[in-house]
Structure 1
């Protein structure tokens, strides 16, 4: 209970969405409210020099998409908020899945024009599995989109979550006039081309029969709003906070992130009801967030955050106790003690050295190659935090070195980039053919670009005819050895030396499963199992 005040002050969450739903824009508006930045970056236009604060890498700035999770810390109304902005693009889904292991809640952004999209469904499955609390922000209300009732119905049906409206829109598109805050009983007015920055546009209307409502939005819209609010109050009533915290109900807000509209209502509710850091599971026991001894895990590694300095930073989530600068901690996998003289907190590309940090905080640890995703630091106890999976890739390519003089640089680059979790590296069993496995094509572009820019290694990728990588385990060592010998062309080792079967198709995989009942084939590999 030593650090209770610090723990209760913190909220750690991720913003997730389909690409182009406005996630990075919303991130910036939250940072503006927290006073963390003075001016928003131009996310959409690649011509403008002020780019999105949360987009780290050159390739992200060129293409206007987020390909790596970035971490930002800011304060708002005496609450310390750790915000993780995740890649929306499906090719980087694995990075997002891992990020979800490091947060206590999620804000899901949905585009009111396009509604629920494929990537959103996949993300919500991962969230539902972990019972993570979710808030929904329906964005772009100032654009002509779907009917508000249809949107809610679609979200509930597609994402299998129960929604609870907290604000309610008055029209959409060019007729959008604002939102009614159902909790505060106030009207927030929207004027096209202006940004909501203070409370000037908020009108308290505790009684909807008041003529002030008609004056502000017109008779027709006032009548519609009265009907809508009566219906919503009848169906939903008050939000039960415990249902939100167990992931059963998702509060919903409407707005326009680019106009900074509806964002304050979302943020104010978030700091009131979002969970503080929670207890976590390890391979030996449950770790309480209230424990005095420090422990935590690495969920992401990013190399060359600053191209001028060849730095590599491990993103470390603190789960219990107090993390202190220059104190020795036990690296469980390597069984050695380490200390960190310059641990960082982040505001996207700017970094500040911290003296200490508490559960819920994300700190950046300088790494010289000691860390892998899933590594745990403790004050001496030997356990691993669980639930940080590695997924089977879906696209496989052989790495062909175009410059033999740069073989060492290529080896180093491949090791570091795959340690980051950008992709998986397999080595053909009994040979040294290097195979990269990714979830999507765009990752190969990123790897090729970064190998050249950061390591001076020029490569080409040749597509291989594999469908899935399956990790193999068996209690019968001889059976596994025989299979490996007979199927050498299809067997590789991952970076940790675990055997992997590269199946050409679902038919081949099923055949091998039937022919080898003593061997188990797994689509995911829990780190360190």
Structure 2
């Protein structure tokens, strides 16, 4: 009995009987571990903008293929949540945070599926999924169309050359318009796309679909749309179907020679001719087939599964390469053999790390050869040997043991100490390494600390785990401002990790705006003559330093310099290091705002000593006193870090973006643009960049992106300087009326 037949029986069986039938269907999954032909395998990802219905679609796919017994909704009323959203936070928020892997069977074909997050903050999860997949389903909302994250996902697919099908979901929603979505795919995503299916009715009137390839209407009937009824195309749609089929043939003929010849010679085009042409052009990424349906209302899923088998490539149809490192030579590219005969040496890529119940869980994709339980593998980066004690396949957060994996399989290992992007082989002499995963730079930083100091150990464990699992989550200690900082792809990204620390490690943390590493510097040279004298019985202290403190040129304004210009023996040479040490100690914390001193040169010209009471300590204290003296009599100012900011967004938002940068005291240094996008380059004070990520996303409909790098230190605005001085004096308990007027 096939899974599909058993599923159809659900309509006439009781609940208990239905569960029994499904169990029978599940038995066929035991065959999954069997050695299958390469043509019978598909590795696909499901990617889209937030709330396009990716996780709901995956849930339906698992149900119709007999992988799960019951369907649950994302953030559902039954408090169960979707199968692929296994994390408690995902169920609570109704969003996907981590990509989840599973596998299923459809028409005797193994389908490995990775459900990825839609939020831009978790973009690295999509990057690493697409790196190891052979094909993808680009899900688009019939109302929202091509949105910001759709553009990002499209760029990622292009980066890894991943063929894709487009699935226009949510036809049942009010305002759904598949025609508008198709036109956006062509204009915004630059896809050569055409419908291969048409909806029969929209919104509440959505009944089924018309398959333009087979020229048949398909209705999804019975409980949960499990019975497929194939019929003639409705009379009122025949003309439209004919036009759309012709349009589809023209789009494919432009990129496929075989179909192009048939089209030009005006020969009759069969269903097999069309399927072959769609498959060839889809694999070459020269044509994108567009399917339609509504996952929530259980329409169009079975036909999508058929399209995955018909049009997306198997692992043998995708060329994967590895680099062979040779000393003194440029790395050579080697094409890997995906044949499942096990004759070639094993090669796999670790693409995701996760802390499991039994230690680190490493997700891998096998590109060549076979790996069996009990064998040894080598990490080509570290040359470490690992014995394989357990091989597992994943179904969300459940694991199923297998004895061997072949080329094209996605699997996981326990207890492998490695980094994301490492290559593993069974023959260490191969010296192969696969191209790693593109990791975008973090854009938002926040100060972080455990709410309770007693939780420091758990905090350290959580940070160690999360930074290893997620390469876009960075952790560092800034000695300048004495703060621990975390960086990520957005405020939601950091907020999720803060919540996970509390839930998973019992360590509540406090997130806050990070401090900016300001600097204090002199405006004009200032002389000093300071005598340090302590002679009240016993061993005394005596040291005198005379010289000049002066500002350094602008290109050296982040450094402190010391020069010994003494002549003679007034300051004995063995005490000069004490003077320098005292000066540099004072440089750690300025007296104006408590920030470091920089851009200053201390020139020691003369001084005086006592034959008995002088010491290195005395000269150290004298130098500190000299700096305080210059602070009292000299003119000081605050320097702030200036960042080079690069913003990319669609052209229609150019005026808005430039206006925002000007409001943040930015200086525009240049602009350029192409294909409807523009890039603006600016120099903006770091202190004015907080909150910019959210502002840019909201003002560009989520399509804008920016990056920033440190450029230089520059004098800050007078109002900022006044505010910093006032805040420092208040924190030190200094009365504001005693405030020394500076500059």
TM bracket, shorter-chain basis: 0.7 to 0.9
Contact persistence 2:321–2:334 (CA under 8 A): yes
The aligned counterpart of 1:136 is 166
In 1, Cα distance between equivalents of 2:448 and 2:362: 26
The aligned counterpart of 2:118 is 88
Can you list the C-alpha shifts for 1:458-508, whole angstroms capped at 9, x where unaligned?
321222378xxxxxxxxxxxxxxx99978x999xxxxxxxxxxx9745226
SS at match of 1:392: coil
The aligned counterpart of 1:519 is none
Offset, 1:190: 5.2
With CA pairs under 8 Å and 6+ residues apart, which has the higher RCO, 1 or 2?
1
The aligned counterpart of 2:59 is 28
Contact persistence 1:243–1:249 (CA under 8 A): yes
Trace 1:480-519 onto structure 2 (pairs within 5 A). Answer: 504-506=643-645, 507=683, 512=711
Picking from 394, 401, 408, the partner of 1:353 is 401
SS at match of 2:447: strand
The aligned counterpart of 1:295 is 347
Offset, 1:433: 4.5
Picking from 80, 83, 105, the partner of 2:135 is 105
In 2, Cα distance between equivalents of 1:363 and 1:402: 39
The aligned counterpart of 1:367 is 415
The aligned counterpart of 1:412 is 461
Q: Bigger shift: 389-398 or 226-235? A: 226-235
In 2, Cα distance between equivalents of 1:294 and 1:102: 16
- The answer to whether 1:154 aligns with 2:206 is no
Offset, 1:280: 2.5
Contact persistence 1:425–1:434 (CA under 8 A): no
Contact persistence 2:358–2:414 (CA under 8 A): no
The aligned counterpart of 2:78 is 48
In 2, Cα distance between equivalents of 1:421 and 1:262: 35
Picking from 268, 280, 298, the partner of 2:320 is 280
- Name whichever structure is richer in helix by fraction: 2
**5+ residue gaps in structure 2?**
1-33, 254-273, 325-332, 517-555, 561-587, 589-594, 597-640, 646-682, 685-707, 715-743
Offset, 1:142: 2.2
In 1, Cα distance between equivalents of 2:351 and 2:210: 39
Trace 1:461-480 onto structure 2 (pairs within 5 A). Answer: 461-464=511-514
- Say how many residue pairs are matched: 467
The aligned counterpart of 1:39 is 70
**5+ residue gaps in structure 1?**
206-212, 467-481, 491-501, 516-529
Q: CA RMSD of the aligned region, Å?
A: 3.1
TM-score normalised by structure 1 residue count: 0.81
| Structure-2 change in CA distance of 1:147 and 1:64 (3 Å) | closer
- The answer to whether 1:62 aligns with 2:109 is no
The aligned counterpart of 1:400 is 449
Contact persistence 1:94–1:391 (CA under 8 A): yes
Q: Bigger shift: 227-236 or 109-118? A: 227-236
Can you list the C-alpha shifts for 1:395-433, whole angstroms capped at 9, x where unaligned?
011221222222222112101111111642242476885
The aligned counterpart of 1:520 is none
SS at match of 2:168: strand
- The answer to whether 1:452 aligns with 2:452 is no
Offset, 1:104: 0.9
Contact persistence 1:108–1:136 (CA under 8 A): yes
Q: Bigger shift: 273-282 or 87-96? A: 273-282
TM-score normalised by structure 2 residue count: 0.58
Offset, 1:227: 4.7
In 2, Cα distance between equivalents of 1:136 and 1:392: 29
Can you list the C-alpha shifts for 1:417-455, whole angstroms capped at 9, x where unaligned?
111116422424768853211112122122112212222
Larger radius of gyration: 2
